[in-house]
Each structure stands twice: as structure tokens, then as C-alpha cells.
Structure 1
Amino acid sequence: MSVRRVVPDIRSRSFDESRNFYGALGFVEVMNQGWVMTMGSPSNPTAQVTFMGADATAPVHPDMSVEVDDVDAIHEAMVARGATIVHPLQDEEWGVRRFFVLDPDGRVVNVLGHRTEQG
């Protein structure tokens, strides 16, 4: 199992203001679904920041996202260790498989993998 990227998830009141501020730091918009927007570094695609309004399917806002190569294996490991899952493992319509888990300090971690096949 490997980690592909780690992204902070920031609750945003205004995507326009966030885009302008982080754009001045050199980030560019790489994804925008209306309720979630990601900005990334043009020179390092894994250096990203995600901004969120209300999550489309989850009842809580994640503090960070961790993209992994095998989300099912990570989910199984978290369940086996008794971690608190606060959003179930599921396929989302925008092409990711994800679940949310609480870390030891109560932070919500969005663990995800991009699906290679839509089904």
C-alpha cells in the first residue's frame, strides 16, 4: 500500500476569494465541482489544497484527504484496528472510492482512491 498524495481540506466561505488568495501563492485551479475545488502547483501536481463547502454525500467535513493506491485495504486495516469510521466506504459519482475515519485527535481523514473504471 502506498500514499499517492496528502491534501489539506479547508472549509471555504468563498471559492473566488480562496482562488484569488492561493492563486497569488502560485496555485492554479485543477478541479471544481461547485461544492469542492482543488488548486495545485503547476510545477508539482501533488502539491494541492482543497476547498470545500458542504460535502456532497458525507455528513462531516474532512480535515485532510489521503489518496492511496488501495483504499479497500486501508479501510480493512482501519476497521481491524477499531478506528471510528464516520463516512462509510463507497463509490462516489465523481470517480473516487472513499471513506472518512477519525484520527486519534478527532480529525476527520478522507481516505480515497481514484477509480480506474466507472461502473
Structure 2
Amino acid sequence: MIKRIVTNIKTQDLSKAGLFYQDILGLEVLMDHGWIKTFGNDQEAKVQVSFATQGGNDTEVPLLSIEVDNVDEIYQKVQKAGFEITYGIADENWGVRRFFVKDPFGNLINILQHI
């Protein structure tokens, strides 16, 4: 039985991860060995891996989908911090409110809240 799946994002500058994943999204530093830094929280979640031909409404497929309970607040933080929003906040017909943003490493991230 799979217990968890961890995403590893390659970077040459670990410090950039803190602004986006810790300061904006509110994750905690769970591990820091200098060459790898892991962010997370104490929430239990289902193990899921998605495969897609598109990101919904003919958008690009994002690397990560991050579900939050405060998507509008996160959207404002992302705008204020100057991150590139590639798909503005929208209520989708499959029951989510979401937006796409490029993280500090250029990865496309889908931030969503179920509505």
C-alpha cells in the first residue's frame, strides 16, 4: 500500500521556495538538509496522482494542483507578491474556484478551492 507521494522540484536556489510555499501558501518547513527542503503541514490527505491532456477549459496542464480553503486570499497574496498569474481566478463548472500561477521556479501551479 502506498503511504504517500512526494513531489521533488529541481532548483539551484532553495531560498526561493520559502516566499511562495511558506509565506504565501502557509506551509511549514518539515525538513531542511541544506540540499533538500521539504514543506508541508500536519493534514492527512488521500494519495492522488492525476494525468491530463489539458488543464480544463483548454488550459495548459499544471505541474501541481494545490487545494486551499481560502483561494481568494491566496490570489491576493500572489498578486501582491508579483508572481505571474497565467489564468485568472474563475469559478469552473466542475465545482472549483481556481487560478494558475507560476511559482519561483517557473512551474505552473493550479491553486483551487472546492465550491
Give the aligned partner of residue 79 of structure 1.
Answer: 79
Runs of 4+ in 1 over 4 A off after TM superposition: none
Percent identical residues: 40
Distance in structure 1 (CA, Å) of the matches to 2:6 and 2:90: 20
Greater RCO structure (CA 8 Å; 6+ sep) = 1
Asked whether the 8 Å contact 1:89–1:97 carries over to 2, the reply is yes
Q: 1:1-119 maps to which residues of 2 (within 5 A)?
A: 46-115=46-115
Distance in structure 2 (CA, Å) of the matches to 1:107 and 1:99: 14
Q: Which amino acid aligns with 2:65?
A: S
Instruction: Please give the TM-score of this superposition, normalised by the length of structure 2.
Output: 0.59
Distance in structure 2 (CA, Å) of the matches to 1:93 and 1:59: 14
Q: Which runs of 5+ in 2 are unaligned?
A: 8-43
Asked whether the 8 Å contact 1:66–1:109 carries over to 2, the reply is yes
Instruction: Please give the TM-score of this superposition, normalised by the length of structure 1.
Output: 0.57
Greater fraction strand: 1
Q: Which amino acid aligns with 2:50?
A: T
Q: Residue 49 of structure 2 aligns to a residue in which SS?
A: strand
Asked whether the 8 Å contact 1:7–1:50 carries over to 2, the reply is no
Q: Which runs of 5+ in 1 are unaligned?
A: 1-5, 9-43
Asked whether the 8 Å contact 1:7–1:49 carries over to 2, the reply is no
Q: Aligned residue pairs: how many?
A: 75
**Pairwise CA distance, 1:60:** 1.7
Give the aligned partner of residue 26 of structure 2.
Answer: none
